[in-house]
Amino acid sequence: MKQVKTGFPKAFLWGGAIAANQAEGAFLEGGKGWSVADILKVQDAGDLKKKSNKETNRNDIDFALQDKEGYYPKRYGIDFYHTYKEDLKLLAGMGLKTFRTSISWSRIFPNGDDPQPNEEGLRFYDALLDEIIKNGMEPLITLSHYEMPLHLATHYQGWYNRKTITFFVNYCETVMRRYKDKVKYWIVVNQINLIHHESFNHLGIPSDTVENLMEAKYQAIHHECTASALVTKLAHQINPDFLVGMMVYDGLSEPLTCKPEDVFANMQRNQREYFFTDLLLRGEYPGYMLRYFKEHNIHLDIREEDEQVLKEHPADFLALSYYYTCVSSKESNDTQDINDDGAIVNPYIDASEWGWGIDPLGLRTVLNYYYDRYQKPIIIAENGFGTYDEISSDGKIHDERRIAYLREHIRNVKEAIMDGVDVIGYYPWGPIDIISCSSSEMSKRYGFIYVDQDDYGNGSKRRIKKDSYDWYRRVIASNGEDL
């Protein structure tokens, strides 16, 4: 008879995660082309809770390409392109078993439709992967993490165009064959369900080039999911030992009240979140989504060969990003639009400065939800606490709130494992400070390592260990027992 698990497995993947577009910089070095991330300007005004990269039109793109006065932080990152050796050594000092980053699509195929890859870009990732492995860390590589070549957005309407499937599969085959002996774990698309808050940044559809933006987004998702299944098929042909994951951000909610109308509305909202995992882990379009498309006048081009590859090549594991929880009601669902997913703030929990509700127990809850539904291994590919950090008078960064946040979330991961959930890895987001995804700020920090740089790139760029650095080192050394 099976026994109740007592804690983290011996081979647990303790890691940290970043993305190329938020860290590398060197935006036009080494043959790299423009990416969708390179046109995102720092947002220096407005409500912190409403800063995100939603819709972008052709005028926005043209302005960003010609703008000589604005600051675009993701063009410069934290200069990881040049400092990766020193940074990886610092990260390895915490005892990380694994390190997640992305390969910038636009660094390999500068325009996306190029006939040949950029060899200089490939050589950079040769060196980066070698350095990760040299420092004793298992690479986890994301193939698409908001780094689509801008040319594909401006000339093809991004993922809305079926041709992008071919361009993406070609890119993935190029890097998977190149690194087949260096990388075992792959995530095809970062947070594939994030079509509201990272719309253009994710799908690359200029909003003024389509008549029905919601329909265009779901058509784009169909193309992206079909491409993901094709990449999974290809990956297993290249190396049968590859483990290929699909990734979502956890957007599940609980009902605001126990009124039957709120319970039902919340169930429907969660179905729209499960849609992406149902499609890529179960391999077929669920009936609830077909009804949703019909009732919302959404008509998709879904071909028989697409359905076949989706059914035959599901992902090997589920990767999940978890930061906060939310609630929903009949009213919030009834009033949602293309830029609103129907979520509202949970009134029973505290939140960060950015309005992200802090709910460690919620992580245990959703891990059980997902595992009960799919029975697939789960990697927590992102979890972290973005907040302001300051250098104290003693020259150190005392980030007790971050430690408290991570401690309770890790504690609940352990509880989920004891519940029977097959969690195989945990990757705190941004183990070294990087540019914020949603707002392009530097001041929203997640790291165990402080980077002395402000929202406009000013500062010494010096790296300083925070208190959380030593704390996480002890967590890893004890395999999650010393929290």
Q: What are phi and psi of 22, to 5 degrees?
A: -100, -10
pTM, two decimal places: 0.96
Q: What is the pLDDT of residues 210-238, one digit of tens each?
A: 999 999 999 999 999 999 999 999 999 99
Percentage of residues of the chain with pLDDT beyond 70: 97
Q: Alpha carbon of 289 to those of 22, 218, 226, 285, 298: distances in Å?
A: 33, 11, 16, 7, 10
Q: Alpha carbon of 449 to those of 191, 430, 445: distances in Å?
A: 25, 9, 10
Q: Is the pLDDT of residue 207 over 80?
A: yes
Q: What is the pLDDT of residues 12-50, one digit of tens each?
A: 999 999 999 999 999 999 999 999 999 998 876 565 555
Q: Domains in the chain and their CATH numbers?
A: 13-477 (3.20.20.80)
Burial class from Cβ neighbours inside 10 Å (0-12, 13-18, 19+) for residue 59 reads exposed
End-to-end CA distance of the chain: 30
pLDDT band at 352 (very low <50, low <70, confident <90, very high): confident
Q: What is the pLDDT of residues 263-305, one digit of tens each?
A: 999 999 999 999 999 999 999 999 999 999 999 999 999 999 9
Q: What is the pLDDT of residue 47?
A: 56
- Sequence-distant (6+) residues with CB within 8 A of 392 are 398
pLDDT band at 354 (very low <50, low <70, confident <90, very high): confident
pLDDT band at 341 (very low <50, low <70, confident <90, very high): confident
Q: What is the pLDDT of residue 336?
A: 64
Output the CA torsion sign for 227, 305, 183, 280.
positive
Q: Is the pLDDT of residue 52 over 60?
A: no
Residue with tokens 């705190």: 428
Check: CB of residue 269 under 8 Å from CB of residue 253: yes
Which two tokens mark 276? 């992406």
Task: From 181, 283, 187, select the one nearest 241 (Cα to Cα).
Answer: 181
Check: CB of residue 186 under 8 Å from CB of residue 243: yes
Check: CB of residue 447 under 8 Å from CB of residue 431: yes
Percentage of residues of the chain with pLDDT beyond 90: 85
Q: Is the pLDDT of residue 359 over 70?
A: yes
DSSP class of residue 39 equals G
- To the nearest whole number, what is the mean pLDDT of the chain? 94
pLDDT band at 338 (very low <50, low <70, confident <90, very high): very low
